């Protein structure tokens, strides 16, 4: 019976077959910090752009708020003016003047009661 001989372990350098396992690990160990740095840099730039975009959105909304506040103030002023005008026009004296002068209406001198 023949005994199985263990296969020889490959060493760092193979004969024309490419890089050995040890060289691949060393290459990854050298590249890994650079990849981490590039990834961190990409995340940092993306976060910075989001902060700038958020600040611009805030400025835009603040300007719109100021314009809306001015419009609201104008509407409050107009509402106050219209309420004053309504109270002036709804007084009994004004109604009687309009009825007599513009509509030629007169207050009756005699009252008649109609029974049903």
Is 111 domain-assigned? no
What is the tens place of the pLDDT at every residue in 71-84? 999 999 999 999 99
Q: CA 42, CA 48: separation in Å to the nearest integer?
A: 10
Q: CA 36, CA 45: separation in Å to the nearest integer?
A: 14
- For residue 16, pLDDT over 60 is answered with no
Which whole number is the average pLDDT over 97-116? 82
Is 69 domain-assigned? yes
What is the tens place of the pLDDT at every residue in 38-69? 999 999 999 999 999 999 999 999 999 999 99
Is 85 domain-assigned? yes
Is 91 domain-assigned? yes
pLDDT at position 5 is 56
Number of independent structural domains in the chain: 1
More reliable by pLDDT, 16 or 64: 64
Is 56 domain-assigned? yes
Contact residues for 12 (Cβ-Cβ < 8 A; gap 6+): 20, 21, 22, 23
Parent domain of 34: 22-101
pLDDT at position 24 is 75
Which whole number is the average pLDDT over 8-33? 67
Is 3 domain-assigned? no
Is 48 domain-assigned? yes
Render 85-105 in DSSP notation, one character per residue: HHHHHTSHHHHHHHHHHTS--
What is the tens place of the pLDDT at every residue in 1-12? 555 655 555 554
- φ, ψ (nearest 5 deg) of residue 112: -120, 140
Is 115 domain-assigned? no
């Amino acid at each position: 019976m023949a005994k199985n001989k263990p296969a020889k372990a490959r060493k760092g350098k193979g004969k024309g077959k490419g890089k050995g396992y040890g060289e691949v690990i060393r290459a990854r160990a050298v590249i890994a910090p650079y990849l981490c740095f590039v990834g961190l840099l990409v995340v940092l730039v993306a976060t910075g752009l989001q902060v700038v975009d958020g600040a611009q959105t805030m400025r835009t909304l603040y300007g719109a708020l100021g314009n809306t506040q001015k419009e609201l103030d104008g509407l409050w002023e107009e509402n106050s003016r219209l309420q004053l005008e309504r109270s002036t026009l709804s007084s009994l004296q004004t109604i009687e003047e309009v009825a007599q002068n513009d509509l030629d209406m007169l207050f009756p001198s005699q009252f008649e009661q109609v029974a049903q």
